[in-house]
Structure 1
Amino acid sequence: MTKRKIVLAFSGGLDTSYALVSFREQGWEVITANIDTGGLHSGEGESVRARAEELGSVQHFVVDAREELYRRVITYAIKANYLRNGGYPSCVGAERLIQAEKVVQVALENGADAVAHGSTGAGADHVRYDAVIRALAPQLEIVTPIRDERLTREQETTFLQERGYEVSAKTTTYSINEGLIGTTIGGGETYGSWDYLPEDAWTYTKSVDDAPAEGVELLLGFEQGEVVSCSVDGAAPIAATPNYAILKALNELGGEHGVGRGIHMGSTMVGNLARVGFEAPGMLILIAAHRELERLVLSNRQQAFKATLGTTYGDLLHEAVYYDPILDDFRAFLDSSQQRVTGEVRVRLHKGNVVPLGSRSPFSLLDAAAQQGVVYGYGSSLWTGEQARAFAHMYAMPGAIAQVAGMKS
């Protein structure tokens, strides 16, 4: 009898390692797919492949999805200045769209009967994966042993060790997911609301104490809302190709200067409160610089409406609303809003801080006002003192009338 074939989204971590061995023991022919969205550093791709083969994968695929992730997801997150609950750049959550799509593609191309992922039922990733699989390949069975069996990390560790497989002590304590947008660290201290992650839990960012005493200055160039250039302390610009190269470089540089650490706490789409550590230097730097440039070139009404719409757009992506046509409408608005977001921003990184120092643009509203003789706090040739007095008088009238009306009650 021909074995049934399953494609497992495989990271090499504890959950997917358990799933691979469990599937093999159940009689599945297991194909593993590792979707690279920025989490594979030098040599790690081969170590993940070796782990998959050690655990019994009959075929292993590595799919490089970094450029597509940057083009379809990251550029719009920056245009939207999206930070979940005002502080978290949806590190790995927004990447699941691309990862799940590529896993489905591998499954369809290899005649699989089922697709599997290692998500638990306590977070949001299982919804993200399922949403993509149901939309693109509803004929495929979805198998999720960690979710269905409700296993603890300790139980998974014991299962593997009893079969002679080594398990890193750190993976037993923490679940670590890394990508271009950033790294998430869950487990241990994040199960409660009081304790902070210890120093050895962080993966690549330095502590503020260990960051260099001297900071660095960046010059970031944008064209219609997309970063196109970056130089450090006046040196030659960082290569802007492939399209994610600057973000990758800023993750490394920002991490060296203690930038990007945080712990996010918020409600998930399934209704529970979650807390997770994250490291996302590059996104926090680029969003800070992009927002500074927008302040120079966008009107107050544009900024206010865009902030609301950008948050809604980002929340929908974070919550796995991937294929509703309204997202196309949001992206059209974001693209339109960026027509004048072109220019340069000076940013300083110092001891965990991202400090915008200045910005300039051919579309600067500040420069346009100065050309008309309007300089804030200094004067204006466009109106007289008498006109300014009249404006202040009329502007104050609604409040004054309301105050008088309130005195009668």
Structure 2
Amino acid sequence: MAGKTKDVKKVVLAFSGGLDTSVILRWLQETYACEVVTFTADLGQGEELEPARRKAELFGVKEIFIDDLREEFVRDFVMPMFRANTLYEGTYLLGTSIARPLIAKRQIEIARQVGADAVAHGATGKGNDQVRFELTYYALQPDVKVVAPWREWDLNSRTKLIEYAEQHQIPIPRGKEGEPPYSTDANLLHISYEGRALEDPWIEAEEKMFTRSVDPMLAPNTPTYVEIEFEKGDPVAVDGKRLSPAAMLTKLNELGGANGIGRLDLVENRFVGMKSRGVYETPGGTIWLAAHRGIESITLDRGAMHLKDDLMPRYAELIYNGFWYSPEREALQALIDQTQERVNGTVRLKLFKGSVQVVGRKSPNSLYRMDYVTFEEDAVYDQTDAAGFIKLQALRLRLAAMAGRKPA
């Protein structure tokens, strides 16, 4: 019980209704003898949320919050992130990371609403999510008490959790084969899988595990074409139909999933120091990223584009590590958003057996000029100007060579 928070009277628990948070709910009632308020966020995870309500009622919870946050999630968190073409360690679209600040923000709002003095989460002491939740809690409510059961109790394995659940008659979700399922996190942007055989990074994920995409080998034998319209860097229409942020991502998920797009097998570096293997499905986000880079390619100035690309890894790391509400992330966001003012237009993509290819782009703000780039005769570009440009660029290299420097 080292580090246990004392004198908790009322706590708001981020509650999914799964094994971990169900055990935590009962453990909080037993250990702290406090009132527990449950909060379940609908972020588009595709699961029925009423079972979470019924389970909370089973434990005698009086105040139960189940909030539909899908539009806010995509509009206020996913969209700003995608304006930066954000990838962590070059591949991960941050589907879990970007959801945590919204969940934690809503927990703090509920705590204020119901007069709770504490908040609790089900993140383990080995993972990133404990950091993401708690950095947000403290950024928004500096004096809040935080209960992190995984850092306090002795239920330090999945086996012990199941034993505790069985002792307290807590229903245990099981996979199709009667085993506890993979550890998953899902929302409208992605689903992740960890644990079981996936802990060995040499073992390939089994096909039956995937839920959001068909096997690329079994995807349609003819390409699917889709057009995405952007306004100020955000997608607003798919195939000419304007959609809300959540509806837009839902549509892209459908198109991507049907074509086997968005699977990723990744070993990543956790903020706490260890490496972790996970498998992700992000069908709509994978299409979105390709489309956004496509429209930026004709609307962004070279200097602005390269500056964004230089800053993106730092921005991605801030989100991954839980610093969404930090001054530096907000400063970077202001810069990123300024670059998007003229990122308007339409991108056409070809989806085929797991791949996404940009095959067309157009914009009223295009910087692409046919009269400058044509290989035919033109009257706007004097090719002899290039000789002086090259000599000036080469000057420092020539001086170094004259001084005896030998290239490696």
Give yes or no for TM over 0.5. Answer: yes
Whole-Å separation in 2 of the counterparts to 1:196 and 1:52: 37
1:83 matched to 2:87? The reply is yes
1:392 deviates by 4.5
- Paired letter, 1:323: Y
Deviation digits for residues 204-257 of structure 1 (CA, Å, limit 9, x no counterpart): 2211123222231100000110111101xxxxx44412x321012211221121
Residue 19 of structure 1 aligns with which residue? 24
For residue 256 of structure 1, the aligned residue among 235, 254, 258 is 258
Residue 40 of structure 2 aligns with which residue? 34
Cα contact 2:8–2:117 (8 A) shared by 1: no
For residue 200 of structure 1, the aligned residue among 204, 208, 213 is 208
What is the TM-score when the length of structure 1 is the normalising length? Answer: 0.89
Describe the shift of the 1:395–1:408 C-alpha distance in structure 2 as closer, same or farther (beyond 3 A).
closer
For residue 339 of structure 1, the aligned residue among 341, 361, 364 is 341
Percent of residue pairs bearing the same amino acid type: 32
1:374 matched to 2:378? The reply is no
201-210 or 398-407: bigger deviation:
398-407
- Paired letter, 1:329: A
Cα contact 1:121–1:148 (8 A) shared by 2: no
Residue 4 of structure 2 aligns with which residue? none
Cα contact 1:266–1:275 (8 A) shared by 2: yes
Residue 118 of structure 1 aligns with which residue? 122
Whole-Å separation in 1 of the counterparts to 2:140 and 2:346: 41
Q: How many residues in Structure 1 have an aligned counterpart in Structure 2? A: 396
Whole-Å separation in 1 of the counterparts to 2:274 and 2:96: 18
What is the TM-score when the length of structure 2 is the normalising length? Answer: 0.90
1:326 deviates by 2.5
- Paired letter, 2:28: F
Residue 63 of structure 1 aligns with which residue? 67
Cα contact 1:37–1:180 (8 A) shared by 2: yes
1:172 matched to 2:171? The reply is no
Aligned CA-pair RMSD: 2.4
Deviation digits for residues 309-332 of structure 1 (CA, Å, limit 9, x no counterpart): 233223212211133223232122
3-state SS in 2 of match to 1:209: helix
Whole-Å separation in 1 of the counterparts to 2:387 and 2:139: 62
- Structure 2 counterparts to residues 121-136 of structure 1, below 5 A: 121-136=125-140
Residue 320 of structure 2 aligns with which residue? 318
1:146 deviates by 2.3
392-401 or 91-100: bigger deviation:
392-401
Whole-Å separation in 2 of the counterparts to 1:179 and 1:100: 15
Cα contact 1:18–1:160 (8 A) shared by 2: yes
1:211 matched to 2:207? The reply is no
Residue 158 of structure 1 aligns with which residue? 163
- Paired letter, 2:45: G
1:51 deviates by 2.6
Describe the shift of the 1:384–1:157 C-alpha distance in structure 2 as closer, same or farther (beyond 3 A).
same
Cα contact 2:212–2:283 (8 A) shared by 1: no
3-state SS in 2 of match to 1:312: helix
Describe the shift of the 1:264–1:407 C-alpha distance in structure 2 as closer, same or farther (beyond 3 A).
closer
131-140 or 98-107: bigger deviation:
131-140
394-403 or 203-212: bigger deviation:
394-403
Whole-Å separation in 2 of the counterparts to 1:359 and 1:142: 49
Describe the shift of the 1:194–1:378 C-alpha distance in structure 2 as closer, same or farther (beyond 3 A).
farther
3-state SS in 2 of match to 1:244: helix
Cα contact 1:258–1:351 (8 A) shared by 2: yes
Describe the shift of the 1:357–1:78 C-alpha distance in structure 2 as closer, same or farther (beyond 3 A).
same
Residue 189 of structure 1 aligns with which residue? 197
3-state SS in 2 of match to 1:374: helix
3-state SS in 1 of match to 2:49: helix
Whole-Å separation in 2 of the counterparts to 1:65 and 1:400: 60
Residue 234 of structure 1 aligns with which residue? none
Residue 240 of structure 1 aligns with which residue? 243
Describe the shift of the 1:383–1:63 C-alpha distance in structure 2 as closer, same or farther (beyond 3 A).
closer
Residue 3 of structure 2 aligns with which residue? none
- Paired letter, 1:151: N
Cα contact 2:119–2:145 (8 A) shared by 1: yes
Whole-Å separation in 2 of the counterparts to 1:250 and 1:315: 26
Cα contact 1:15–1:146 (8 A) shared by 2: no
211-220 or 201-210: bigger deviation:
201-210
1:343 deviates by 0.6
Describe the shift of the 1:395–1:14 C-alpha distance in structure 2 as closer, same or farther (beyond 3 A).
same
Flag structure 2 segments of 5+ consecutive residues without an equivalent. 1-6
Describe the shift of the 1:172–1:238 C-alpha distance in structure 2 as closer, same or farther (beyond 3 A).
farther
